[in-house]
Amino acid sequence: MKETKQKDIIIVGAGMAGLTAALYAARTNCSVLVLENAIVGGQIANAAGIENYPGLPNVMGSTLIETVQGQAEKYGAEVDEFDPIERVDLAAQPKTVETESVIYEAKAVIIATGMERRKLPLPEAPRYEGRGVHYCELCDGHLYEGKTIVVAGGGNAAVDAANYLVRHAKHLYLIHRSAFRADAASVERLRANENVTILLETEIKALKGKGRLASITVLDKKTGEERDIPVDGIFVNIGVVAQTKLFEGQVALGETGRIAAGEDCRTNVPGVFAAGDIREKEVRQLTTAASDGTTAAILAAKYIEREG
């Protein structure tokens, strides 16, 4: 039989929003537990260099996350990594969050599960995962020293990945099906590298290779021409998917599938808050994730105090 434990605030997700929430909630003298089903830090932990976080001109994502986690733990927050949640009941009083080993009861819950990278939408893509198809440039980029690398995508994440990977690559292709969505400074930095070829208005139609990825077939959408490009690896940055499956039917979702919550981070369920990229909002940056975490934690503590 599983042990039952009580906490004031449970935070689901240990990215920037979740860890910031843990820091602020712990400072209110609430008992705080952060549950993370994968690695602490989420996507930002893999960022090679963050240049737009105020006060830190250039910082590794892992360093930033470790610092915030340390601050939260200093004030008593617990961070439980690799502990998948099996079930939640957010309408219950107290609210229930059940993991593989423990049933937690909480007075308030902050959802900060963030996003997951969208998979390459080709039927053969799963066959090449780890064999030429990758979703983490910081984890696997070093495997392609002196090789030909492709980055798929045109947003900031893709361009930042390309700017990081080009240091390893003999040649790098950035391929995107439409125009750039990344900021101009990052794009210009990439364009300035002579080992980079940028193919916009271009789709990846197929992956080829025996055992490992050896080439890709691309379609020029303007000319209708298809051709094969020999490559050693492809790093995919084509968007993200909201991690809301666990909460479907328990909190209201917005049009994009994220959790409907305003700038106060309150959901439609009393005592349940949403923070970071999982929240329905227009701007998603590290700074806004930290802001959401701050707001959610302070208002969760006030909710607990008000409810007695």
**Residue 265 a catalytic site member:** no
Per-residue CA distances from 290 to 18, 144, 299 (Å): 8, 34, 14
- Residue 30: active-site member: no
φ, ψ of residue 31 in degrees (nearest 5)? -80, 125
Could you tell me if 105 and 96 are in contact, meaning their C-beta atoms sit under 8 angstroms apart? yes
Cis peptide, bond prior to residue 94, ω within 30 of zero: yes
Candidates 89, 139, 183, 228; catalytic one: 139
Residue 61: phi and psi, rounded to 5, are -60, -45
Catalytic option among 80, 83, 140, 220: 140
Q: Minimal CA–CA distance to 107: which of 18, 24, 10?
A: 10
The size of the chain, in residues, is 308
**Known active-site residue 140:** yes
Give the active site residues. Answer: 136, 139-140
